[in-house]
């Protein structure tokens, strides 16, 4: 279970997150919608401590992320502990961020070896299995630049899955793709959702939210405007700002 | 002026024939350059001033070869020490710790400012400034040595070259590290890869692409900078040819001996650079272009 309470974050004088409370149960899919600049990506990056929160707490399965609590004080964890926590939280980037000098297989195997301490043989076997799962079993030896955008993003998803994370965060996973490649990535996301993976997805794909989400969250200017099951938020939005946003997106 | 033989256009089936554009001025330009080149080569061969018999007499002479080995030794030792020094300098300069960053900046500033020749003379005269050098606990007990015993003229030369090289290498390495996309650092951090492994496995191999051409420049420049240590009377290549032409007065052929050796060494370093760059180009290019050897082999097979 993921639990965010009162999360605040500023970049300089710009307040990007202004008190976010959010809960996501294990095995559910949460889709975050909202106009650009509403703080969606920052929120996602706060969950795995790529950004430090200024106030508030993030807990994954009850474990405080990035800090250790003693009394009413939060002590920031050391680099090593933060890295250990991150290994339990998958992250898929908008721009894939695959390691260009490593093959698809090495990309998926690397963190298994260095973060989880798996043997190389075990890691490679698991990497082969996961590349098969995302439909790239035959491209294990290809370098990222030899793959299409959609294929690269599928490798990135396999890379995130390889650490057997409790939760996977997706930061606009289809936004950098050509329209005809969006489908192949969404298919993988659908399959993961059906398999009961805990996911938090920032996206503009309303169709995906409608079909796969358990909870849809609408954010604007650093706050959660409304949240609920897709048929409520998408079809009967209570809030004026949600309605205005959806009317622009659902042309 | 293409080296590839174009395929003969098909004329049989009534299609239009494509005639490539002619470039007469390219031919004229090439002819002009070739004539000038031939003139120069002719001059090299016929002008008695070059004195080729003397050149060949000294080219592989024992004292010259020994001096050559010393030049290679100074270059390699200077490069290894310089790059070993450059790594912490780059790391410190990129560190969020303001003290480390400022110290690194100052070191680089000082050692890039002082001309190598001046620096070499300073190191050679260190014994005049500090008669003894001491090793030990700061402000505590220690052992002292006379500076003159500790720093020979070879040591002074190496120290000067290495410190000079380290200042430049620090900047070259820093440039390489900065060239790696921020997304790579983030992806590695998000996967929980340990810090040192992130550097060695993810960041450094990508930084090498940007580091290598500059590092090769630096290495080649160092090779030639070793000629400056002649000022400390160290028998490297340039010093040795000076000694010989001081004796026999054949200045030009002996300078040519040194020149040709420097050219050969630079050629070897350039070949090394080509293959090292190729190694680190993995994944950066979709397919690696063939090496000159592979191209030659393919051309011969045709």
In this model, does residue B10 exceed pLDDT 60? no
Q: Look at residue B229 in the predicted model and tell me its pLDDT.
A: 92
Overall average pLDDT of the B259-272 stretch = 95
Do the chains contact at B193 and A111, CB–CB below 8 Å?
A: yes
Overall average pLDDT of the A73-82 stretch = 91
| A110: nearest CB among B181, B193, B280 | B193
In this model, does residue A127 exceed pLDDT 80? yes
Overall average pLDDT of the B187-208 stretch = 94
Best probe of the B interface among A50, A111, A120, A160, by most B CBs < 10 A, is A111
Q: Give φ, ψ of A5 to 5 degrees.
A: -130, 125
Query: What confidence tier does A220 reach under pLDDT thresholds 50, 70, 90?
Result: very high
Q: Answer yes or no: is A152 within a domain.
A: yes
Q: Look at residue B34 in the predicted model and tell me its pLDDT.
A: 97
Nearest residue of A to residue B203, measured between CA atoms: A99
In this model, does residue B9 exceed pLDDT 60? no
Domain hosting A151: range is 99-164
Looking at every residue in chain B, the average pLDDT score rounds to 89
Do the chains contact at A97 and B282, CB–CB below 8 Å?
A: no
Q: Answer yes or no: is A21 within a domain.
A: no
Q: Answer yes or no: is A153 within a domain.
A: yes
Overall average pLDDT of the B21-48 stretch = 93
Q: Look at residue B127 in the predicted model and tell me its pLDDT.
A: 75
Number of structural domains (chain A) is 1
Q: Answer yes or no: is A154 within a domain.
A: yes
Overall average pLDDT of the A127-138 stretch = 95
* pTM metric for this prediction: 0.81
Buried b (16+ CB within 10 A) or exposed e, B49-64: eebeebbeebbeeeeb
Nearest residue of B to residue A110, measured between CA atoms: B193
Q: Answer yes or no: is A144 within a domain.
A: yes
- Sorted by where each starts, the structural domains of chain B and their CATH numbers stand as 60-301 (1.10.3720.10)
Q: Model confidence over A148-160: pLDDT tens digits?
A: 999 999 999 999 9
Q: Look at residue B132 in the predicted model and tell me its pLDDT.
A: 74
CA B147/CA A223 separation, integer angstroms:
69
Query: What confidence tier does B301 reach under pLDDT thresholds 50, 70, 90?
Result: confident
| A93: nearest CB among B183, B195, B205 | B183
Query: What confidence tier does B139 reach under pLDDT thresholds 50, 70, 90?
Result: confident
What is this model's ipTM? 0.91
Overall average pLDDT of the A131-146 stretch = 94
Do the chains contact at B187 and A50, CB–CB below 8 Å?
A: no
CA A169/CA A40 separation, integer angstroms:
11
DSSP string, chain B: --SSPPPPPP-TTSPPPP-PPP-HHHHHHHHHHHHHHHHHHHHHHH-GGG-HHHHHHHHT-HHHHHHHHHHHHHHHHHHHHHHHHHHHHHHHHHSS-HHHHHHHHHHHHHHHHS-HHHHHHHHHTHHHH-SEEEEESTTS-EEEEEHHHH--HHHHHHHHHHHHHHHHHHHHHHHHHHTS-HHHHHHHHHTT--HHHIIIIIIHHHHHHHHHHHHHHHHHHHHHHGGGGGGGT---HHHHHHHHHHHH--HHHHHHHHHHHHHHHHHHHHHHHHHHHHHHTTTTSSSPPPPHHHHHHHHHH-
């Amino acid at each position: 279970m993921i639990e965010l309470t009162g999360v605040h974050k500023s970049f300089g004088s710009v307040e990007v997150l202004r008190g976010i409370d959010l809960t996501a149960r294990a095995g559910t899919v949460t889709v975050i919608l909202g106009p650009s600049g509403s703080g969606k990506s920052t929120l996602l990056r706060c969950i795995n401590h790529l950004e430090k929160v200024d106030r508030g707490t993030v807990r994954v399965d009850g474990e405080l992320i990035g800090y250790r609590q003693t009394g009413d004080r939060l002590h920031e964890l050391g680099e090593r502990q933060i890295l250990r926590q991150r290994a339990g939280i998958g992250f898929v980037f908008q721009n894939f961020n695959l390691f260009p000098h490593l093959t698809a297989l090495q990309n998926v195997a690397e963190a298994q070896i260095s973060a989880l301490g798996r043997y190389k043989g075990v890691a490679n076997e698991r990497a082969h299995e996961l590349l098969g799962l995302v439909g790239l079993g035959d491209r294990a030896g290809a370098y990222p630049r030899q793959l299409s955008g959609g294929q690269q993003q599928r490798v990135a998803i396999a890379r995130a899955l390889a650490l057997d994370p409790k939760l996977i965060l997706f930061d606009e996973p289809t936004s950098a793709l050509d329209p005809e490649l969006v489908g192949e990535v969404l298919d993988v996301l659908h399959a993961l959702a059906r398999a009961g993976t805990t996911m938090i997805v920032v996206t503009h794909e309303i169709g995906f939210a409608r079909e796969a989400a358990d909870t849809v969250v609408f954010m604007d200017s650093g706050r959660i405007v409304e949240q609920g099951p897709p048929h409520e938020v998408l079809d009967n939005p209570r809030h004026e700002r949600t309605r205005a946003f959806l009317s622009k997106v659902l042309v | 002026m293409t080296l590839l033989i174009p395929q003969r256009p098909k004329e049989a089936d009534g299609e239009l024939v494509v005639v490539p554009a002619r470039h007469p001025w390219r031919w004229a330009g090439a002819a002009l350059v070739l004539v000038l080149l031939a003139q120069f080569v002719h001059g090299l061969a016929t002008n008695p001033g070059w004195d080729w018999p003397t050149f060949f007499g000294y080219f592989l002479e024992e004292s010259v070869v020994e001096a050559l080995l010393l030049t290679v030794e100074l270059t390699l030792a200077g490069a290894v020490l310089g790059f070993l020094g450059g790594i912490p300098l780059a790391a410190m300069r990129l560190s969020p710790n303001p003290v480390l960053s400022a110290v690194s900046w100052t070191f680089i500033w000082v050692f890039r400012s002082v001309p190598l020749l001046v620096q070499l003379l300073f190191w050679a005269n260190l014994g005049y400034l500090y008669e003894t050098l001491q090793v030990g606990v700061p402000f505590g007990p220690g052992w002292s040595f006379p500076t003159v015993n500790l720093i020979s003229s070879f040591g002074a030369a190496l120290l000067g070259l290495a410190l000079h090289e380290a200042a430049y290498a620090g900047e070259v390495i820093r440039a390489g590290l900065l060239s790696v996309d921020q997304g790579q650092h983030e992806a590695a951090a998000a996967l929980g890869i340990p810090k040192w492994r992130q550097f060695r496995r993810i960041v450094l191999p990508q930084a090498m692409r940007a580091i290598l051409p500059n590092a090769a420049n630096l290495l080649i420049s160092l090779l030639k900078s070793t000629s400056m240590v002649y000022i400390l009377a160290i028998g490297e290549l340039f010093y040795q040819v000076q000694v010989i032409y001081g004796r026999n007065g054949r200045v030009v052929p002996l300078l040519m001996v040194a020149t040709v050796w420097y050219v050969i060494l630079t050629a070897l370093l350039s070949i090394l650079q080509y293959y090292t760059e190729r190694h680190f180009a993995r994944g950066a290019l979709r397919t690696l272009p063939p090496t000159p050897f592979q191209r030659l082999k393919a051309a011969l097979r045709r």
